[in-house]
Chains A and B, each alone.
Chain A
Amino acid sequence: MSRPVRLLLLGSGLLGLGALFAWAISGLPAFGDYRGPYGFVLNRIVVPLRHTTNVVMGTNFDVRGIDTMGEEFILYASVVGVTLLLRDETRTRQAERRTRRFGNDTVRLVGIAMVGAGLLIGLWLMAFGYITPGGGFQGGVVTAGAILLLYLVGNHRDYRPFRDEHLLDPLEAVGAGGYVIVGLAALASGTAFLTNLFGLGTAGMLRSSGSIAILNWASAIAVTVAMLLLFAEFLETYVVPLEPEDAGS
């Protein structure tokens, strides 16, 4: 099929889709006119019931915990897919010999400072996820970003432990499997899957909201390690020794 014919087909298809969108939008309530009871109910009951002041986090890991488990397994399956596609490529590429990635000292200094700050911010987002906005997903991406900054501004030796598959693969499994184990623990004690079993504590303190905290950390580990694994797989053949004494290892 030649390109002009394809473009014509695309145009007519998009027009039809646009008409369907217009018809669907005309049936929606106006912007701001929220009618459904589910949102109002959740805003009233989650804080007293689960002692967590972040209702979105309570919804994510408690009220709709099964959906988040599904999302974590999407993450896990995608990382497994990337690993299978990219890991067993034969490494016949010639290694580039460079002693430093950045020649500019100012950039390196700022980057090194940002590693520590980024790590702290990521851990803070993870830890206080069920009190203020944040959580395992956001904190996981920021922490992985801070660790990967080491690849840019540090030596190869500093970054090497973070691309070791023998360390990262089990950690990813801990993150994804930990979620299921917490749910199964609830099942084993006679209640439904993923019931909030642990002590609830006081809302607004770090020690609160029971199993939401544990699930939060499990998903934080899963997301951080998934991002590190992705980077390691994509650049596997290009992470090269920066110092001459690394060439033998």
Chain B
Amino acid sequence: MSYLPYAVAAWICLVGIAGMATSRNLIHLAICLTVTQSSSYVLLLSVGYVKHGHAPIFIGRKLGTTAVDPVVQALTLTDVVVSVVVIALILALALDAHRLSGTVNPDDLADISG
């Protein structure tokens, strides 16, 4: 039971990868990539959790009380915002592929030449 969080993170990662590999639409593929990225956030925050710890904000709280790990939260919060822009880049590539070949299906894209 105490390994459930990590198992959930692994499950989400596998589901996202399966979705990406079997996708028939490049935009659907980008969204499955976001699901895979969210598995890394779940894993990071589960690793940093301290039992009976509070959030690492010390306004109105005395210093020295148990708080959860702030480093993984710092990593996660920048990662979440940057992932939006990276997904936008991937979608722009998909739009470019659609403009050049007329299709968003990755299976059909393998046939274009030049």
Q: Do chains A and B touch in the complex (CB under 8 A)?
A: yes
Which A residues form the contact surface with B (CB < 8 A)? 3, 6-7, 10, 14, 17-18, 21-22, 25-26, 28, 30-34, 36, 38-39, 42-44, 46-48, 53-60, 64, 67-68, 71, 74-75, 78-79, 81-82, 85-86, 89, 131-133, 135, 137-138, 140-141, 204, 223, 226-227, 230, 233-234
CA distance A86 to B81 in the complex (A): 21
When distances are taken between beta carbons in the complex, the residues of chain B under 8 Å from A3 are 107
**B57/A34 in contact, CB under 8 A:** no
Q: Which of A14, A31, A32, A71 contacts B79 (CB 8 A)?
A: A71
**A234/B7 in contact, CB under 8 A:** no
Q: Which of A42, A74, A137 contacts B71 (CB 8 A)?
A: A42
B95 contacts the other chain (Cβ, under 8 Å)? yes
The dominant DSSP class at the A interface is helix
0/1 per residue, B90-110, Cβ < 8 Å to A? 011101100100000001000
B35 contacts the other chain (Cβ, under 8 Å)? no
Q: Which of B17, B49, B57 contacts A133 (CB 8 A)?
A: B57
CA distance A111 to B85 in the complex (A): 25
Which B residues form the contact surface with A (CB < 8 A)? 2-7, 10, 13-14, 17-18, 21-22, 46-51, 53, 55-59, 63-64, 67-71, 73-75, 77-82, 84-86, 88-89, 91-93, 95-96, 99, 107
Minimal beta-carbon separation of B98 from chain A (angstroms): 12
Known: A33-B2, A55-B56. 16 other contacts (CB 8 A): A22-B10, A28-B3, A28-B6, A30-B2, A31-B5, A38-B71, A42-B71, A54-B56, A56-B77, A68-B78, A74-B86, A78-B82, A78-B88, A81-B89, A82-B88, A137-B77
When distances are taken between beta carbons in the complex, the residues of chain B under 8 Å from A57 are 74
**B81/A223 in contact, CB under 8 A:** yes
Minimal beta-carbon separation of B70 from chain A (angstroms): 4
**A39/B74 in contact, CB under 8 A:** no
CA distance A205 to B29 in the complex (A): 45
When distances are taken between beta carbons in the complex, the residues of chain A under 8 Å from B67 are 39, 43, 55
**A25/B7 in contact, CB under 8 A:** yes
When distances are taken between beta carbons in the complex, the residues of chain A under 8 Å from B57 are 53-56, 132-133
When distances are taken between beta carbons in the complex, the residues of chain A under 8 Å from B58 are 43, 47, 53, 55
